[in-house]
Structure 1
């Protein structure tokens, strides 16, 4: 069968939305993760823990579906100064879209945090949450900014 357009002109390829496809998932290695309590997003995703690289450049987040998300969401990671200015950020969608997650499934997302060339000296906090990539709507939490704080870091001058 050759794909054709509305005027019966042959086309090179067709992309079909057939849903999510996942291979067999191996046991997650979460032994090095710092555990997080009561971090729930939209009643469908829970943050279980995190791991931060020694250079504060990479953050791994351990998630569990506690329901079925209604769409595909993106994780935001922000590094904030004392005035809540963003000095670093590492947003990324999970490798397996959240719209296909099922209750009880667990995933790890990896985030490369981008900073200015030399981050200013000071104390910072790292927050995370979920947003819809089309309308920027965040999944709700029990915090005012729909985000949870996961770590504190310090940069010292060179």
Structure 2
């Protein structure tokens, strides 16, 4: 079920829980050995989604993700011990899985130096994304304190955490190697 909700700025999900109360005492009665409530339904709450203003510092990407989405832009910012990454998505379909985003920092010898894996949106699983949705997701990758000086690439993509399968990425008509898209580079002194 999908309900429109004015005043919220992005879609999210909510779950309806039910329980039984003793009318006389107000006490919750057990429904099972473990709980006095049970979930009965999950709802998607739609937002009034204004199209985000283009970030003048973002890099145009235009990578196709499966047959259901486009990674439009990426903005990478390096601060002292973090890398901030902002990704702008548009949806033309529904992802076939509840994907997680990976952000990888790769060193000059192609070794993983730091990583962040998490759902793109903790309030709305990707399997509930719909055609027409627009998302801007922000990530902060903590850099290890002992990271040596050098040039690093930042790569991203989506993967199914239940089996590790990555969502297919296509850039300029060509498959992206390992479905791991380079979205920026940084040099550490």
Distance in structure 1 (CA, Å) of the matches to 2:53 and 2:114? 27
Q: Which structure is higher in strand share?
A: 2
Distance in structure 2 (CA, Å) of the matches to 1:10 and 1:140? 41
Choose 1 or 2 for highest CA Rg.
2
Partner residue, 1:109:
137
Distance in structure 2 (CA, Å) of the matches to 1:144 and 1:27? 30
Query: How big is the shift at 1:42?
Result: 1.7
Q: Is the 8 A contact 1:127 1:147 kept in 2?
A: yes
Q: Is the 8 A contact 1:92 1:111 kept in 2?
A: no
Answer yes or no: is 1:150 the counterpart of 2:183. Answer: yes
Measured against aligned partners, the alpha-carbon deviations of 1:87-119 in whole angstroms (never above 9, x if no partner) come to: 122222122221111123110111111221132
Partner residue, 2:149:
121
Answer yes or no: is 1:94 the counterpart of 2:120. Answer: yes
Answer yes or no: is 1:41 the counterpart of 2:65. Answer: yes
Q: TM-score normalized by structure 2?
A: 0.72
The verdict on how the C-alpha distance between 1:54 and 1:11 changes in structure 2, with shifts beyond 3 A counting, is closer
Q: How many aligned residue pairs are there? A: 152
The verdict on how the C-alpha distance between 1:123 and 1:10 changes in structure 2, with shifts beyond 3 A counting, is closer
Answer yes or no: is 1:51 the counterpart of 2:75. Answer: yes
1:4 corresponds to which of 9, 31, 35? 31
Partner residue, 2:103:
77
The more displaced of 76-85 and 12-21 is 12-21
Partner residue, 1:21:
45
Alignment RMSD (CA, Å): 2.0
Which 5+ residue runs of structure 2 have no aligned equivalent? Answer: 1-18, 21-29, 170-174
